[in-house]
Amino acid sequence: ALYHKLKQEFPYIPSYVRNIVSSTLLHHYATNFPSNLSKVRVWSNSYHSDTSSLAFISLGKAREEIRKGNIRKAISYYFKAFKTSLSIPHPTGIVNSLNDTSWYLKEKHPQFSLLLAKKAVYYSAWYREDLSYDFAVLDTLFEVQKINNDLSICETSMIIQHYYGFLPNSSGKYTKEHYKKTLEFSKRFCFDLE
Protein backbone atom coordinates (compact mmCIF):
# COMPACT_ATOMS: atom_id res chain seq x y z
CA ALA A 1 0.00 0.00 0.00
CA LEU A 2 2.80 2.43 0.91
CA TYR A 3 4.69 1.50 -2.27
CA HIS A 4 1.68 2.43 -4.44
CA LYS A 5 1.02 5.63 -2.48
CA LEU A 6 4.62 6.83 -2.83
CA LYS A 7 4.65 5.95 -6.52
CA GLN A 8 1.37 7.78 -7.19
CA GLU A 9 2.39 10.88 -5.26
CA PHE A 10 5.99 10.91 -6.45
CA PRO A 11 5.60 14.24 -8.35
CA TYR A 12 4.64 15.91 -5.07
CA ILE A 13 7.68 14.63 -3.16
CA PRO A 14 10.32 17.36 -2.69
CA SER A 15 13.18 17.00 -5.15
CA TYR A 16 15.82 16.75 -2.42
CA VAL A 17 14.16 13.53 -1.13
CA ARG A 18 13.28 11.91 -4.45
CA ASN A 19 16.65 10.15 -4.83
CA ILE A 20 16.15 8.31 -1.54
CA VAL A 21 12.52 7.46 -2.27
CA SER A 22 13.21 6.24 -5.82
CA SER A 23 16.11 3.99 -4.80
CA THR A 24 14.03 2.60 -1.92
CA LEU A 25 11.08 1.93 -4.23
CA LEU A 26 13.36 0.23 -6.75
CA HIS A 27 14.85 -1.94 -4.00
CA HIS A 28 11.38 -2.92 -2.78
CA TYR A 29 10.25 -3.70 -6.33
CA ALA A 30 13.35 -5.81 -7.03
CA THR A 31 13.10 -7.83 -3.82
CA ASN A 32 9.40 -8.54 -4.39
CA PHE A 33 9.68 -9.39 -8.10
CA PRO A 34 7.53 -10.82 -9.66
CA SER A 35 4.52 -9.33 -7.96
CA ASN A 36 1.66 -6.99 -8.66
CA LEU A 37 3.98 -3.99 -8.19
CA SER A 38 4.56 -1.76 -11.18
CA LYS A 39 8.16 -0.91 -12.01
CA VAL A 40 9.77 2.34 -10.91
CA ARG A 41 11.46 4.52 -13.52
CA VAL A 42 14.87 5.86 -12.54
CA TRP A 43 16.07 7.62 -15.65
CA SER A 44 16.51 11.17 -14.35
CA ASN A 45 20.06 12.57 -14.34
CA SER A 46 19.64 13.65 -10.72
CA TYR A 47 19.60 10.00 -9.62
CA HIS A 48 22.82 9.28 -11.44
CA SER A 49 24.62 12.38 -10.17
CA ASP A 50 23.99 11.47 -6.53
CA THR A 51 26.47 8.68 -5.77
CA SER A 52 24.50 7.25 -2.85
CA SER A 53 21.35 6.96 -4.97
CA LEU A 54 23.34 5.53 -7.86
CA ALA A 55 24.75 2.79 -5.60
CA PHE A 56 21.29 1.72 -4.47
CA ILE A 57 19.81 2.01 -7.93
CA SER A 58 22.54 -0.36 -9.12
CA LEU A 59 21.75 -2.73 -6.26
CA GLY A 60 18.06 -2.61 -7.14
CA LYS A 61 18.77 -3.31 -10.80
CA ALA A 62 21.07 -6.19 -9.83
CA ARG A 63 18.36 -7.78 -7.71
CA GLU A 64 15.84 -7.31 -10.49
CA GLU A 65 18.16 -9.12 -12.92
CA ILE A 66 18.67 -11.92 -10.37
CA ARG A 67 14.90 -12.41 -10.18
CA LYS A 68 14.82 -12.68 -13.98
CA GLY A 69 17.68 -15.21 -13.97
CA ASN A 70 20.21 -12.88 -15.64
CA ILE A 71 23.10 -13.59 -13.26
CA ARG A 72 25.84 -12.18 -15.50
CA LYS A 73 24.04 -8.84 -15.93
CA ALA A 74 23.23 -8.75 -12.21
CA ILE A 75 26.88 -9.26 -11.30
CA SER A 76 27.88 -6.25 -13.42
CA TYR A 77 25.33 -4.12 -11.53
CA TYR A 78 26.62 -5.47 -8.20
CA PHE A 79 30.18 -4.49 -9.12
CA LYS A 80 28.98 -1.03 -10.15
CA ALA A 81 27.20 -0.71 -6.80
CA PHE A 82 30.34 -1.84 -4.98
CA LYS A 83 32.63 0.63 -6.76
CA THR A 84 30.18 3.49 -6.25
CA SER A 85 29.63 2.61 -2.57
CA LEU A 86 33.36 2.31 -1.96
CA SER A 87 33.97 5.76 -3.44
CA ILE A 88 31.63 7.46 -0.94
CA PRO A 89 32.16 5.26 1.27
CA HIS A 90 28.72 3.82 2.03
CA PRO A 91 28.99 0.77 4.34
CA THR A 92 25.59 -0.75 3.57
CA GLY A 93 26.16 -0.53 -0.18
CA ILE A 94 29.67 -2.00 0.12
CA VAL A 95 28.61 -4.93 2.29
CA ASN A 96 25.39 -5.72 0.40
CA SER A 97 27.01 -5.67 -3.03
CA LEU A 98 29.93 -7.90 -1.95
CA ASN A 99 27.69 -10.29 -0.03
CA ASP A 100 25.12 -10.68 -2.81
CA THR A 101 27.81 -11.12 -5.47
CA SER A 102 29.51 -13.79 -3.41
CA TRP A 103 26.22 -15.61 -2.87
CA TYR A 104 25.34 -15.77 -6.56
CA LEU A 105 28.85 -16.78 -7.67
CA LYS A 106 29.40 -19.48 -5.05
CA GLU A 107 28.57 -22.43 -7.31
CA LYS A 108 30.28 -21.40 -10.56
CA HIS A 109 33.23 -19.45 -9.13
CA PRO A 110 33.69 -20.73 -5.55
CA GLN A 111 37.21 -19.37 -4.95
CA PHE A 112 36.35 -15.88 -6.17
CA SER A 113 33.14 -16.09 -4.17
CA LEU A 114 35.18 -16.90 -1.05
CA LEU A 115 37.37 -13.85 -1.62
CA LEU A 116 34.28 -11.63 -1.92
CA ALA A 117 32.63 -13.16 1.15
CA LYS A 118 35.75 -12.51 3.23
CA LYS A 119 35.84 -8.91 2.00
CA ALA A 120 32.15 -8.50 2.91
CA VAL A 121 32.83 -9.71 6.45
CA TYR A 122 35.88 -7.42 6.66
CA TYR A 123 33.90 -4.33 5.64
CA SER A 124 30.99 -5.33 7.84
CA ALA A 125 33.27 -5.53 10.87
CA TRP A 126 35.20 -2.41 9.84
CA TYR A 127 32.13 -0.17 9.69
CA ARG A 128 29.90 -1.74 12.31
CA GLU A 129 30.45 -2.95 15.83
CA ASP A 130 27.44 -5.26 15.95
CA LEU A 131 27.80 -8.17 13.55
CA SER A 132 24.32 -9.39 14.48
CA TYR A 133 23.12 -6.66 12.12
CA ASP A 134 24.99 -8.35 9.29
CA PHE A 135 24.58 -11.97 10.29
CA ALA A 136 23.66 -12.71 6.64
CA VAL A 137 27.28 -11.88 5.75
CA LEU A 138 28.55 -14.52 8.16
CA ASP A 139 26.02 -16.98 6.77
CA THR A 140 27.27 -16.38 3.23
CA LEU A 141 30.89 -16.76 4.30
CA PHE A 142 30.07 -20.01 6.09
CA GLU A 143 28.26 -21.46 3.04
CA VAL A 144 31.07 -20.48 0.69
CA GLN A 145 33.70 -21.89 3.07
CA LYS A 146 31.88 -25.25 3.06
CA ILE A 147 31.97 -25.32 -0.75
CA ASN A 148 35.69 -24.48 -0.79
CA ASN A 149 36.67 -26.74 2.13
CA ASP A 150 38.23 -23.62 3.63
CA LEU A 151 40.18 -24.34 6.83
CA SER A 152 39.14 -21.10 8.51
CA ILE A 153 35.56 -22.40 8.71
CA CYS A 154 36.20 -23.30 12.35
CA GLU A 155 36.78 -19.63 13.19
CA THR A 156 33.62 -18.64 11.32
CA SER A 157 31.67 -21.34 13.18
CA MET A 158 32.76 -19.94 16.54
CA ILE A 159 31.81 -16.41 15.47
CA ILE A 160 28.41 -17.64 14.28
CA GLN A 161 27.76 -19.34 17.60
CA HIS A 162 28.76 -16.22 19.51
CA TYR A 163 26.72 -13.73 17.50
CA TYR A 164 23.68 -15.97 17.08
CA GLY A 165 22.65 -14.98 20.58
CA PHE A 166 22.35 -11.35 19.49
CA LEU A 167 19.82 -12.05 16.73
CA PRO A 168 16.21 -11.03 17.39
CA ASN A 169 13.81 -13.82 18.33
CA SER A 170 11.03 -12.64 16.06
CA SER A 171 9.91 -9.98 13.59
CA GLY A 172 11.73 -9.37 10.38
CA LYS A 173 13.45 -11.65 7.91
CA TYR A 174 16.74 -12.38 9.66
CA THR A 175 15.79 -13.85 13.01
CA LYS A 176 17.16 -16.65 15.18
CA GLU A 177 14.66 -19.01 13.60
CA HIS A 178 15.83 -18.10 10.09
CA TYR A 179 19.45 -18.98 10.95
CA LYS A 180 18.80 -21.97 13.21
CA LYS A 181 20.06 -24.47 10.59
CA THR A 182 23.23 -22.43 10.11
CA LEU A 183 23.84 -22.45 13.86
CA GLU A 184 23.30 -26.21 14.18
CA PHE A 185 25.50 -26.98 11.18
CA SER A 186 28.24 -24.65 12.44
CA LYS A 187 28.59 -26.81 15.58
CA ARG A 188 30.08 -29.57 13.41
CA PHE A 189 33.12 -27.40 12.71
CA CYS A 190 33.98 -26.37 16.25
CA PHE A 191 36.36 -28.35 18.38
CA ASP A 192 36.82 -28.25 22.13
CA LEU A 193 40.59 -28.21 22.66
CA GLU A 194 40.45 -28.56 26.45
Q: What pLDDT is attached to residue 30?
A: 61
Q: So what's the pLDDT on residue 183?
A: 93
Residue 113 or 29, more confident? 113
Task: Count the Cβ atoms, other than its own, within 10 Å of residue 173.
Answer: 7
Q: Residue 119: left if φ>0, alpha if ψ -120 to 50, beta else—which one?
A: alpha
Mean pLDDT of all residues in 49-54: 80
Distance between CA atoms of 128 and 73, rounded to whole angstroms? 30
Question: What is the arithmetic mean of pLDDT over 176-193?
Answer: 84
Question: Tens digits of per-residue pLDDT, 105-119?
Answer: 999 999 999 999 999
Q: Is 151 exposed, middle or buried (0-12, 13-18, 19+ CB in 10 A)?
A: exposed
Quote the pLDDT of residue 80. 96
Q: What is the pLDDT of residue 167?
A: 87
Residue 37 confidence (pLDDT) above 60: no
Q: Is the pLDDT reported for residue 33 higher than 60? A: no
Find the mean pLDDT for residues 145-153: 95
